[in-house]
């Protein structure tokens, strides 16, 4: 039991009236892929606890996420993870104003675990439920790291499942300005790592290798004529280089491959982000998503500061999947009275709430 009596009694409402109403505590729950996460965030920006249970060691054995194993693992730990988030925040459910849960995008079975748990908890404790789009959550990680950041701004969304340049119009609405036509950037990092014999997920290994490499291969940019991105051609180009070398019995320089791949994968994203900052007359650019941890991306985008663009990088611990970003996003829905009923369900594909 999370606490002795889950249903809110009249005493609860008296206590709540006495409590500082300026402090809104959101319990975030995230289970869209291979991390079971829960967090308590105050007023959308102050992290009181942030628990991440990673399944990577299990999925590593298979070279990628096995959806069925992911769902079962979420079921095993979700209750413990949520309890720990409350304990770490020194709170009980009585202190929680709303439960924000990732409803998509992600693996359907994995999402179902978090959504079902959150619905049950909301029903049992009479705490309002808020459905959160995972992608919007990634963008909100910046509100935690940069307390004064306010929309509008441009964001580079670079994760394992998504790649886009987004205009963040306000706390609720977004415009997708450019997107990938095929693979996501993180997916490409993972596939290239696999070809080089690196463990899953390979993004950070490519990042490490690239630090001692030189861009000798000069792969084509991922930026297409229409302003969108394509990662499948880059991925094939890297695979061809590796296979050709293998057939000729030559050894390749992994550092140079990693560096050349990184330059091609990232430069186009940063270039397009700069174009969109200028086009929309917005001198604020925030990074979001797991690939936001990439050192070459962080360095390259930081160079834009010299050209008058204020750059916002989320702290490394908030780049990957976490529930603090979900709770942060939930807070802005709370302020807008956007609550969900128990009909809400997992949505493996979900779009950003568009402004246009
Ligand atoms: O945002 P995320 O945790 O998951 C999604 O919501 O999709 O992103 C995971 C992706 C993986 O593809 C992982 O390899 C990549 O982020 N990643 C990196 C780095 N750290 C994680 N890619 C490049 N460089 C890194 N340092």
> Which atom in ligand 1 lies closest to the alpha carbon of residue 187?
12
Identify the pLDDT of residue 5: 40
Identify the pLDDT of residue 350: 84
Identify the pLDDT of residue 19: 55
Q: Which residues of 59-90 are buried (b: 16+ CB within 10 A; e: fewer)?
A: beeeeebbbebbbebbbebbeebbeebbebbe
Ligand 1 atom 20 nearest Cα: 204
Tell me the CA distances in angstroms from 68 to 59, 109, 189, 280, 284, one per residue in order: 11, 7, 23, 43, 40
Identify the pLDDT of residue 63: 86
Span from the CA of 202 to the centroid of ligand 1 (angstroms)? 8
Identify the pLDDT of residue 322: 98
Q: What is the pLDDT of residues 101-114, one digit of tens each?
A: 999 999 999 999 99
Q: Closest by alpha carbon to 31, among 99, 77, 62?
A: 77
In whole angstroms, what separates CA 265 from the centre of its chain?
A: 18
- Phi (first) and psi of residue 41, to 5 degrees: -125, 135
Span from the CA of 50 to the centroid of ligand 1 (angstroms)? 18
Identify the pLDDT of residue 22: 82
Q: Which of 186, 263, 313 has most ligand 1 atoms within 8 Å of its beta carbon, as the pocket-test mutant?
A: 186
Distance CA 292, CA 316 (A): 8
Question: CA Rg, the chain, in Å?
Answer: 21
User: With a cut of 50, which residues of the chain have pLDDT below it?
Assistant: 1-6
Percentage above 70 pLDDT, the chain: 93
Residues lining ligand 1, CB < 6 A? 33, 159-161, 186, 189-190, 201-204, 207, 289-291, 293-294, 320-321
Identify the pLDDT of residue 100: 98
Ligand 1 atom 5 nearest Cα: 160
Q: Which of 102, 103, 189 has most ligand 1 atoms within 8 Å of its beta carbon, as the pocket-test mutant?
A: 189
Q: What is the pLDDT of residues 243-288, one digit of tens each?
A: 999 999 999 999 999 999 999 999 999 999 999 999 999 999 999 9
Tell me the CA distances in angstroms from 170 to 152, 287, 354, one per residue in order: 6, 16, 11
Distance CA 31, CA 15 (A): 32
Supply the DSSP string of 202-263, one letter for each residue.
THHHHHHHHTT----S-PPPSB-TTS-B--HHHHHHHHHHHHHHHHTTPPP-HHHHHHHHHH
């Amino acid at each position: 039991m999370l606490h002795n009596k889950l249903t809110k009694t009249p005493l609860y409402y008296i206590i709540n009236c006495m409590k500082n109403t300026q402090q809104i505590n959101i319990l975030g729950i995230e289970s869209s892929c291979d991390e079971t996460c829960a967090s308590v965030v105050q007023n959308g920006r102050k992290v009181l606890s942030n628990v991440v249970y990673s399944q990577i060691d299990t999925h590593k054995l298979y070279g990628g996420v096995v959806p069925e194993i992911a769902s079962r693992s979420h079921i095993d730990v979700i209750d413990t993870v949520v309890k720990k988030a409350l304990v770490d925040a020194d709170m009980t459910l009585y202190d929680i104003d709303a439960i924000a849960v990732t409803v998509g995008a992600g693996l359907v079975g994995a999402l179902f675990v978090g959504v079902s748990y959150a619905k049950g908890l909301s029903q049992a404790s009479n705490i309002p439920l808020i459905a959160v789009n995972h992608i919007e959550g990634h963008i909100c990680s910046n509100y935690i790291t940069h307390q004064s950041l306010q929309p509008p701004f441009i964001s580079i969304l670079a994760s394992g499942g998504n790649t886009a340049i987004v205009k963040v119009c306000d706390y609720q609405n977004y415009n997708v300005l450019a997107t990938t036509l095929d693979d996501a950037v993180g997916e490409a990092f993972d596939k290239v790592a696999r070809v080089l014999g690196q463990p899953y997920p390979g993004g950070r290994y490519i990042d490490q290798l690239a630090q001692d490499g030189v861009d000798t291969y000069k792969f084509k940019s991922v930026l297409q004529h229409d302003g969108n991105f394509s990662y499948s051609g880059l991925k094939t180009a890297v695979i061809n280089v590796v296979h050709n070398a293998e057939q000729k019995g030559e050894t390749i320089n992994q550092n140079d491959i990693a560096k050349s791949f990184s330059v091609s994968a990232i430069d186009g994203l940063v270039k397009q982000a700069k174009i969109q900052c200028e086009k929309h007359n917005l001198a604020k650019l925030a990074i979001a998503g797991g690939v936001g941890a990439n050192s070459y991306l962080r360095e390259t985008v930081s160079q834009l500061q010299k050209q008058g663009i204020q750059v916002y990088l989320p702290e490394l611990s908030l780049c990957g999947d976490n529930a603090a970003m979900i709770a942060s996003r939930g807070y802005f829905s709370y302020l807008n009275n956007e609550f969900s009923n128990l009909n809400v369900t997992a949505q493996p594909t979900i779009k950003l709430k568009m402004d246009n």
